[in-house]
Structure 1
């Protein structure tokens, strides 16, 4: 298969009608496509009748030269089957492959479908609010500016009238002052879709909502306290736990809760998935619900709540400072979770018992390359604030170029390790 050569562009090709039509067909196909891989437009009789109807070889040559000029930009590539005896240009199944959507769209003056819809909706909103001022927000211009900067992508493709009705319902909810769950408000306003308003605080404010009107769903926190002895709590003078260990993955959490080795015999185990981006809500009673894996006496639950919900800033009524650690995958994502948790629990560090074992596996040549486990897009957090992670774990990830999942941790050899 041949491909026309691409080169840097000094002068764009002339916008011949033949090229413009093909460019716009290719761009429209790219917007419709849901398949992975390159987008290609067959230059068949439907897309390029000129190539098939031409009876003069000079006409074919001229069209081919125009295609070569377009391909020289690097925006598209021309694909052809290998030449055969007596095969014409159209017999070689010519196809245009898209290489640079933005540049080709700019040259062809093609407005992407999503952008066209956004412009149409903002124009419809402005006209609707002018005609129906009672349905307008307090500052319509600010709302339109926000939607231009931060489009409401889940709405795209709806009739603009339906999208406007949805925003009117949401505006009424915001201005009513009625408190409800954020996702309930989203489902009411947006055709039963509950996640449209996730991370849309600015839009809600512009539509008249108060800061606490729409509550996010509370975090469900799964905990496994250590075994409680009625004669003395754990081994630490009546305290329900001696330290807290956040665990990234459920399999490891369950296994460690069932197998209490000495290194975590008196630890409060916390399943750390599900709140990676919502850590600050952990410290609020309204934002967090505690679920204990096994039953525990009221005094143990009281101590857990005191650790989690009280300020811990050294006040007279604060609970004692509790050591905290995190254990997850030895990869960039795990290190990012550690950094995120440290924003809420500044004293938290990487758990040396678990990570030390994973480091030894890496040093022995074990582990996997990122692309083997769909981790190629993970990014190095650079810095976590934990000395052990920053001075040991991140450097070995960089030097080895391999990762180890938390589930490789061997509980049978962990007892007593440090």
Structure 2
């Protein structure tokens, strides 16, 4: 590997402030630098060490690009890929990040952690009187100090102590978070592993958060159409394609692994046959389609949904008018719509999407949101995805 550039004094990239998972990784390296050691500091890329790289939210590839940028442009560490990783895994699965010792000063500058860190001393002093409240004696907190704007170290630790008071009431993670962190329901998102270390088996008392989906299932429906955006879903519900039940996915919410779990809940529009929907919607006998934005994120949703619904196909009647706009040079650019972070999913597994829609997106480099299509335009279009 060639020598990395000397970036001492270089300010951090602007996007680092928007990626808390990445800052946590850099803090982890500094934590290890501050501990006695005889070996180089390395970090394996696994689902447990870097869960942000294994979420099915369409952003994992972008997150890995940020890590590669820290290596290539700032020389923070080297990357060694695991050539023996299973083919079904992400290409970076089990890769090894090795910190370059020359990067310490730059990391400390970016993270505002001087070599003698008074904040660490304050954090240790804050945890010490509360160690008996935690199953691990507070070790997880000591290993990864947490700072919250507007909180002192004592207040942060006391908030984590307060979490233990709510574990026996069957509350969700967000309900507990709101009660303990000044009404911030999202603070504990992504910190389940920390809570498991702090509270052991008691942490299992946190109720799984239900996945709430809206559906319209008219009597006699024969097919199911999953719609990405709310306005398009409601317009279709007013005048649904014949024989279709409709499901509003709400972006990536319905692509979660819990899609078909006992924690999924449905809100049905009036006139729905909820009993038939519940019995059929995940069955192999019900043809199912997806219609969303004609952009890489929309194709990413299709790909993610197919992990739970392998027969899912892009809905041609919805995408046809959007595709026509692309071929006419219409649509918006990624920059115009704030979509520059979207990544090409490469392949979705749907023949129509992979052979028609994705090539069109790559060729024209424009996107079209599904709200541009109005219900009357469906008149005369086929609704079964069958070949003409």
Structures share a fold, TM > 0.5?
yes
Please state how far the C-alpha of 1:172 moved relative to its aligned partner: 4.8
The within-5 A match list for 1:6-405 is 106=105, 110=109, 112-113=111-112, 115=113, 123-138=121-136, 140-145=138-143, 147=144, 152=146, 155-174=148-167, 177-210=168-201, 212-226=204-218, 228=219, 234=220, 241-260=221-240, 264-273=241-250, 275-276=252-253, 279-285=256-262, 287-296=263-272, 300-308=273-281, 312=283, 321-405=285-369
Cα distance in 2 for partners of 1:189, 1:119 equals 27
Cα distance in 2 for partners of 1:352, 1:201 equals 40
Q: Which has the larger radius of gyration?
A: 1
Please state how far the C-alpha of 1:192 moved relative to its aligned partner: 2.3
Distance 1:251 1:244, change over 3 A: same
Please state how far the C-alpha of 1:173 moved relative to its aligned partner: 4.2
Cα distance in 2 for partners of 1:277, 1:202 equals 23
User: SS where residue 206 of structure 1 aligns?
Assistant: helix
Cα distance in 1 for partners of 2:6, 2:339 equals 40
Distance 1:358 1:188, change over 3 A: same
Query: What TM-score does the superposition give when structure 2 sets the normalisation length?
Result: 0.65
User: SS where residue 158 of structure 1 aligns?
Assistant: coil
Distance 1:248 1:126, change over 3 A: same
Cα distance in 1 for partners of 2:5, 2:362 equals 40
Please state how far the C-alpha of 1:213 moved relative to its aligned partner: 2.0
Cα distance in 1 for partners of 2:223, 2:117 equals 55
Higher relative contact order (CA 8 A, sep 6+): 2
Cα distance in 1 for partners of 2:255, 2:305 equals 9
Please state how far the C-alpha of 1:416 moved relative to its aligned partner: 3.5
Contact 2:130 2:138 in 1 (8 A): no
> Which structure 1 residue ranges, 5 or more long, are not aligned?
1-8, 14-22, 35-73, 76-102, 229-233, 235-240, 313-319
Indicate the residue corresponding to 2:45 in structure 1. Answer: none
User: SS where residue 253 of structure 2 aligns?
Assistant: coil
Please state how far the C-alpha of 1:394 moved relative to its aligned partner: 0.8
1:299-330 residue CA offsets vs partner (Å, 9 max, x unmatched) = x211111134x6x4xxxxxxx62110000110
Distance 1:278 1:349, change over 3 A: closer
Please state how far the C-alpha of 1:119 moved relative to its aligned partner: 6.0
Contact 2:231 2:371 in 1 (8 A): yes
Please state how far the C-alpha of 1:133 moved relative to its aligned partner: 4.1
Please state how far the C-alpha of 1:415 moved relative to its aligned partner: 2.6
1:90-146 residue CA offsets vs partner (Å, 9 max, x unmatched) = xxxxxxxxxxxxx99937974744x46x9656544544554554224325434433x
Contact 1:349 1:386 in 2 (8 A): yes
Cα distance in 2 for partners of 1:11, 1:355 equals 50
Query: What TM-score does the superposition give when structure 1 sets the normalisation length?
Result: 0.61
Please state how far the C-alpha of 1:273 moved relative to its aligned partner: 0.8
Cα distance in 1 for partners of 2:107, 2:321 equals 58
